[in-house]
Structure 1
């Protein structure tokens, strides 16, 4: 469902990715594990359409996404890809509910439809009592769960998570990974998660190890 073919990425004379081939099936939880500087975040950004490869191709659900341009790419990303980042990236002036609704509104859903979907997800994630709280009023774990709900609001084909537990304490790290497993069971959701934590990676179905821009499995 997510396929990378001979992905290379070069910044000037520095080659960060050196020919990555991978395939991820629907409903899989896959972690990308590697030391800092190994190229895992660069790979995630390319797979998630946030960056273009220097060479190679990314295909999501039979769509070659690096052939899409402008509005086509933005629409595909909004409708089919979810993102969870280490530092949440919630808009501070909006409530948890409003933050969660935003991708749905951008996709053109009516207010009621976007709100109902956001309410369902936030309730499922145990945040029904925190809907009207802004990010500054939420704990780190709560903010990350709002970010997960936001990533899921458009029912994406795949969610890409970049060190999603990196800003959490050990208890919340465990809970977040358990949440991804529960979401896969509930919604058959596909997750691709960058991490440097071997313990957390062990909870995934499969781990892709990257060393110096190549897969070493």
Structure 2
């Protein structure tokens, strides 16, 4: 479902990625781990089309994204890729429901259709009673679940998460991790997660180890 071939990336004289080859199947929950500065977030951003590689090929859901024009790429990203960041990145002036609907509205869905879908996802997340609350009125765990709901609104092929539980306490962290696997089991959702959390990495279907810009011994969890 995701194919990366020969991905390289440099910032000035510093080569961050040194020829990454990686395949991810539909419905996999894959973690990417490694020391700080290894290239994990850069790889995730390239996979999510937020940044471009210096060389290499990216195929996502059958589309070679390197060949898309900027306007096509923006539309493709909004539809096919959901993002969850360490800090929820919710818009403070909007309610949870409004935050979740935004990608669907950008896609061109009607307000009614977007709201209906958003309410369904928030209900799945156990957040129906929090839909009208703004981010400042939500707990850290609730904010991150709203962020996951926003990532899911357009039925993306993959959700990319960068340290999604890094700012959460133990209970909320465990609940968020369980949510990822529930979404995979019930919806067939694919996740690629950059994490320093060994507990989360140990639960994923596969752990990709990156050291010095290279993949070292991909590990399949038994």
TM-score class normalised by the smaller sequence: over 0.9
Cα displacement (A) at 1:203: 1.1
Cα displacement (A) at 1:66: 1.8
| Structure 2: distance between partners of 1:186 and 1:106 | 26
Partner residue in 2 for 1:106: 106
Query: 1:3 and 2:15 equivalent?
Result: no
| Structure 2: distance between partners of 1:139 and 1:162 | 20
Partner residue in 2 for 1:30: 30
User: How does the TM-score come out when normalised to structure 1?
Assistant: 0.99
Residues 106-154 of structure 1 show CA distances to partners (whole Å, capped at 9, x for unaligned) of 0000111100000000010010110110001100000000000000000
Q: Secondary structure at the match of 2:177?
A: helix
What is the aligned-residue RMSD (CA, Å)? 0.6
| Structure 2: distance between partners of 1:183 and 1:43 | 23
Cα displacement (A) at 1:163: 0.4
Structure 1 stretches (4+) deviating beyond 3 angstroms?
none
Q: Secondary structure at the match of 2:19?
A: strand
Q: Secondary structure at the match of 2:109?
A: coil
Structure 1: any 5+ residue segments left out of the alignment? none
Q: How does 1:1-217 map to 2 (within 5 A)?
A: 1-217=1-217
| Structure 2: distance between partners of 1:31 and 1:88 | 19
Aligned residues: 217
Cα displacement (A) at 1:69: 1.8
